[in-house]
């Protein structure tokens, strides 16, 4: 198999827009957790906690004609892709040999809710643009039109594993030669209060326990966890074969050396120990490494009472308790469809900078037999990393990354 490398990143998150701001906030452990204020997130009787993007700017990226009909998810997708596109110098490549995979489905629920409520009694005045914009494929259309992508573009749904699943599919697309370059974009899932109620009802989203201190609510792997806390996030990664542009002045972030995908054959949201062990072993086997060679694990780590426990059991069973571990969601919140792509981005930035971000609110870990990064950032020479993502419906994924300068 040819070496597959990641050559460009873009990220937009509640903690910062762009790689530099995002990484600064990660290392400092800065957060934006509070009661959500965006219209459509509360129904008058709720106080859902989350991390929302503020001071977002897209004026230099999106034409005014597009802005009028582009949802917030679409605007953030375009802006995030713009950053990754520029870093990877994709204006120089053949658009017919470039693909785009948008990880996520049902990503515009809040805006659909607002539109439907606004026009409920006057549907005859609804803009014809709604006929396009309610479809998640509109993100593909907007991005491919803005950047001239002609290879292929499609959406891929894998619940909270969507972002990582998009990366895995992008890797397979360039490995097979279907395209030379493929962009994986973890789309921002713009949830409404309906999704918040549903996720709370499942026991997946955190409860009202921390209403007096919302900054304490997001606490993956801590004994006081009681569910995930939502965060607005989006990330884009440019994936290509190392041989595609040997003369380009690019500095790859890492090589993708192993991956795993496994289904539990289970519709329910509960995690599977066997499924998680299976994808870890698939990724390590494809990478041709043993567990002892993994320096760092970026886990799924949502704050789920059952999910956190199962994930640590899987990592222990696979011999990975020695590896440094933190959780990006403790700072950014759970981006749902975007989470896997955002956490791979965080992993790559940490590998490049040689520093691991802290884990917020990890006061009493559920398992002390791990090399936790505590409440302060730590310097680390990370050569090989493992990223985990899981999604409702029994979806398990894992990705193994190696420093591009390491044999």
Q: Compute φ and ψ for 67, nearest 5 degrees.
A: -60, -35
Contact residues for 150 (Cβ-Cβ < 8 A; gap 6+)? 95, 96, 98, 144
Instruction: For 252-309, write each residue's pLDDT tens digit.
Output: 999 999 999 999 999 988 899 999 999 999 999 999 999 999 999 999 999 999 999 9
3-class secondary structure, 279: helix
User: How is residue 228 annotated by DSSP?
Assistant: B
pTM, two decimals, is 0.96
Contact 301, 370 (CB under 8 A): no
Where does the pLDDT of residue 154 fall: very low under 50, low under 70, confident under 90, or very high at 90 and above? Answer: very high
Which domains are present in the chain?
4-241 (3.40.47.10), 255-403 (3.40.47.10)
Average per-residue pLDDT in the chain?
Answer: 94
Give residue-wise pLDDT tens across range 378-404: 999 999 999 999 999 999 999 999 997
The 8-class DSSP code of residue 106 comes to S
Could you read off the pLDDT of 18-42 as tens digits, one per residue?
A: 999 999 999 999 999 999 999 999 9
Residue % of the chain over a pLDDT of 90: 85
Q: What's the average model confidence in pLDDT over 121-131?
A: 85
Q: Tell me the pLDDT tens digit for each residue of 165-220.
A: 999 999 999 999 999 999 999 999 999 999 999 999 999 999 999 999 999 999 99
Give the CA distances from residue 229 to residues 34, 210, 211, 303, 305, in Å, rounded to whole numbers and listed in that order: 10, 11, 12, 8, 13
- pLDDT band for 55, please (50, 70, 90 cuts): confident
Edge-first strand order for the sheet with 230-231 is 33-35, 49-51, 230-231
Per-residue pLDDT, averaged over 129-146, amounts to 90
Q: What is the mean pLDDT of residues 344-348?
A: 98
Question: Quick one: pLDDT at residue 245?
Answer: 83
Does residue 68 carry a pLDDT above 90?
Answer: no
Task: Determine the pLDDT at residue 160.
Answer: 96
Pairing of β 395-403 and β 384-391: antiparallel
């Amino acid at each position: 198999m040819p070496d597959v490398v990641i050559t460009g990143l873009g990220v937009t998150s509640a903690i910062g827009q762009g790689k530099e701001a995002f990484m600064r906030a990660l290392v400092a452990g800065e957060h934006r957790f509070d009661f959500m204020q965006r219209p459509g997130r509360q129904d008058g009787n709720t106080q859902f906690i989350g991390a929302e993007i503020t001071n977002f700017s897209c004026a230099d990226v999106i034409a005014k004609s597009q802005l009028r009909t582009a949802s917030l998810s679409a605007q953030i997708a375009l802006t995030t892709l713009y950053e990754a596109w520029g870093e990877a110098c994709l204006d120089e490549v053949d658009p017919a040999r470039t693909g785009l995979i948008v990880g996520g489905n049902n990503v515009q629920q809040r805006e659909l809710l607002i539109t439907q409520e606004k026009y409920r009694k006057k549907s005859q005045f609804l803009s014809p643009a709604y006929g396009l914009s309610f479809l998640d494929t509109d993100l593909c259309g907007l991005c491919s039109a803005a950047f001239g992508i002609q290879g292929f573009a499609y959406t891929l749904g894998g619940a909270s594993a969507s972002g990582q699943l998009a990366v895995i599919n992008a890797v397979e697309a360039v490995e097979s030669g279907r395209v030379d370059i493929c962009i994986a974009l973890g789309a921002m899932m713009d949830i409404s209060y309906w999704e918040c109620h549903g996720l709370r009802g499942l026991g997946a989203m955190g409860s009202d326990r921390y209403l007096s201190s919302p900054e304490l609510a997001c606490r993956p792997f801590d004994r006081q966890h009681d569910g995930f806390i939502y965060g607005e996030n989006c990330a884009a990664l440019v994936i290509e074969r190392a041989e595609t542009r040997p003369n380009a002045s690019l500095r790859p972030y890492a090589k993708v050396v192993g991956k795993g995908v496994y289904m539990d054959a289970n519709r329910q949201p509960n995690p599977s120990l066997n499924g998680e062990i299976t994808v870890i072993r698939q990724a390590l086997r494809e990478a041709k490494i043993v567990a002892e060679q993994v320096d760092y694990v970026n886990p799924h780590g949502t704050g789920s009472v059952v999910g956190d426990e199962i994930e640590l059991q899987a990592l222990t069973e696979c011999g990975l308790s020695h590896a440094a571990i933190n959780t990006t969601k403790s700072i950014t919140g759970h981006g749902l469809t975007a989470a896997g792509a955002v956490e791979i981005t965080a992993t790559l930035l940490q590998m490049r900078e040689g520093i691991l971000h802290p884990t917020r609110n990890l006061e009493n870990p559920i398992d002390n037999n791990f090399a936790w990064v505590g409440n302060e950032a730590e310097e680390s020479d990370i050569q090989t990393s493992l990223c985990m993502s899981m999604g409702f419906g029994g979806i398990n994924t894992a990705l193994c990354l190696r420093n591009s300068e390491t044999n």
